[in-house]
Amino acid sequence: MTITITRITKETRVGVLCGGLSNEREVSLRSGNNCLSALKRLGYENAELIDVDTDLARVLKERQIEAALLALHGRYGEDGTVQGLLELLHVPYSGSGVLASAVAMNKPLTKNVLQANNLPYAPTIVITDRELNSLDDLLGKIDWLPVMIKPLNEGSSVGVYKVTESSEIKALVEKTIKEFGGAIVEKYVIGREITIGVLEEPPAQRNGKDIWALPILELRPKSKAGFYDYEAKYTKGMTEFILPAQLSPEVTRICQELAVRTFRALHCSGYARVDMMVGEDGQPYVLEVNTLPGMTDTSDLPAMAHEFGMSYDALVERILMSCGLDK
């Protein structure tokens, strides 16, 4: 179903949906409060914060919400769940639709889309709880170290491990499957960790280029985990931001084009953030796509927008205007 809104004005009753039921609740609350403050500064006096719970449908109806700006992260918010509810209620919402949200949140499905579209990603083995009996055989196929062990459906690096010893892999895979229902074991690409914001212009503002990439942000985390983990993402001073990334003009162009191609392949809408590793040989590999990137004081997307010349408030308003995009 396509939901359209004639026009969002300063009088529109905007609900900033945040909090929710995922492991990323606290980060989402920070994103939501920041977005609401920006909307108030911009003059959207009817904007209000909504902490998402199981009674969301009732709350939206009672408060007569006309458009939803989504500041949710993780399961039950970034995975298509809330998007589906909003479509049933005919409430336009920011960001990607049900399908893109669900696929991007599921790491194995994302890799299937990448493969189908000839987009590069690191070698990966997917293991579900149904395959515990054949775990030794599956892990026996791994001939690369270090590896990343990740849950199938989480964000913000929740439950992610970087493993440098093969003897540690099995126990951590079993732990991940027990906690999250499944795991992926992914080759760790040695090189530069980068992320790229992608924006889609609202139809009324397009001028020949409807989807484009922001300046590339290189991430140099200082956490003990040795990668861009939850602590590094949301603790000030725990990550060195190199913006723009220290890449050659040619590699920069290739990575930005790859981010836009990935955005299109997953049928994302409005905005997203594409995480990559650039190997020592300059080859980029797509790690994952975040359809509702963080909007906290330490988040990546606002930093990239600022480097481009777009203020935080202007970015929030652009996100709000994505409510009018086809999903």
The residues carrying an active-site annotation are: 24, 156, 234, 273, 275, 288, 290, 294
| Torsion, Cα of 66, 67, 70, 71 (10° steps) | -70
Q: Looking at this protein, which amino acid is placed at residue 210?
A: D
Enumerate helices (H) and strands (E) in the chain, giving the number of each. Answer: 11, 13
Alpha helix (H) residue ranges in the chain: 25-42, 56-62, 81-89, 98-105, 107-116, 135-139, 169-180, 230-234, 249-265, 300-308, 312-321
Rounded distance, CA 109 to CA 106, Å? 5
CB 278 within 8 A of CB 258: no
User: Which residue, among 274, 241, 280, 281, has the nearest Cα to 258 in the 3D structure?
Assistant: 274
Helix H or strand E segment including 183: strand 182-187
Which residues does 206 contact at the CB level (< 8 Å), separation at least 6? none
